[in-house]
Amino acid sequence: MNRRFALMIDPLAEGVDRSDYGDTLTAVDAAAPALSVGELSTQRGDGVFESIGVIDGHAQEVVPHLERLAHSAQLCDLPAPNLAQWRQAIDQAASRCADGEAVIKLILSRGVEHGPTPTAWVTAAPASDFSRMRAEGVRVVTLDRGYDLGAAERAPWLLLGAKTLSYAVNMAALREAHRRGADDAIFLSSDGFVLEAPTASLILRFGDRFVTPAPTGGILHGTTQLSVYEHLSARGFVVGYERIPASDLPRADAAWLVSSVRLAAAITAIDGASLPVDQVLTDELNAYLLSPRD
């Protein structure tokens, strides 16, 4: 695929009994205007999204992505997405992707201000080239996210557990990491615990035990992290979710950032201090993540 593909979705009332949603999906010119100037996704970032990796025309981990889309919509008081309808849209978008790597994005917005329905659409495009990061790893810095671990439960209106379109803070964190001479960042809670990266989940290895921050305190439950854990468990490793103090980061025997399109990138340094790299396992994880998975 050498260009983008876009599909608008006509949101349906929850519970509609049908097997084919083809007449509710409309292909549009991805290079042409398609949204109203009153669209709240662009005016206020008022909506949720998912990014799905596509390998040789096969959309990866669709069910976990749809479940997370529905969870984000619930947290944001958006209408529940009709998952069968979205699944059909994903299938159509994936069929437009050529061999190689691509990315499908799902967007559910509150719609036009004072409008009757939300706005929903799906796009497909060639993925960025992350081969260098997979081969050479990434340097990261730690950044204070400004919230303690209890903030998500204490202040649900902060939407810390939702994958919203309001990504300005995440992008600012990446720019700050670049200013500090790093490739990426790891957020820390204000009370000193490890959270996640701006656009990825974190996995740490201590011996034969792999841990990731527990998906509470505003941490997204990573779909790629779940796939990595399935693979590691099948290999006989112990995997788990923990509260991880920031002081544990330099003690790790290896660490990775994982996400749907980047896949697995080994962390080579944290705040300027080198970290051991297990390149053999990194290559193994990426080979697994590049294989078709539902």
Considering 74, 108, 126, which residue would you say is the last residue of a domain? 126
Please give the tally of structural domains in the chain: 2
Considering 102, 126, 150, which residue would you say is the last residue of a domain? 126
Identify whether residues 168 and 275 lie together within a single domain: yes
Query: For the whole model, what pTM was predicted?
Result: 0.94
Average pLDDT, the chain: 94
Q: What single-letter DSSP state applies at residue 37?
A: T
Residue 53 counted as domain residue? yes
Range of the domain at 152: 131-289
Identify whether residues 169 and 209 lie together within a single domain: yes
Provide the CATH number for the domain around residue 243: 3.20.10.10
CA distance 153 to 162: 13
- pLDDT tens string 9-65: 998 655 556 778 988 999 999 888 888 889 999 999 999 999 999 999 999 999 999
Identify whether residues 26 and 122 lie together within a single domain: yes
Is the pLDDT at 114 greater than 90, yes or no? no
Per the structure block, which two tokens stand in for 27? Answer: 């292909």
Q: What average pLDDT score do residues 265-283 get?
A: 98
Q: Distance between terminal CA atoms of the chain? A: 22
Residue 294 counted as domain residue? no
Identify whether residues 277 and 204 lie together within a single domain: yes
Provide the CATH number for the domain around residue 26: 3.30.470.10
Identify whether residues 115 and 141 lie together within a single domain: no
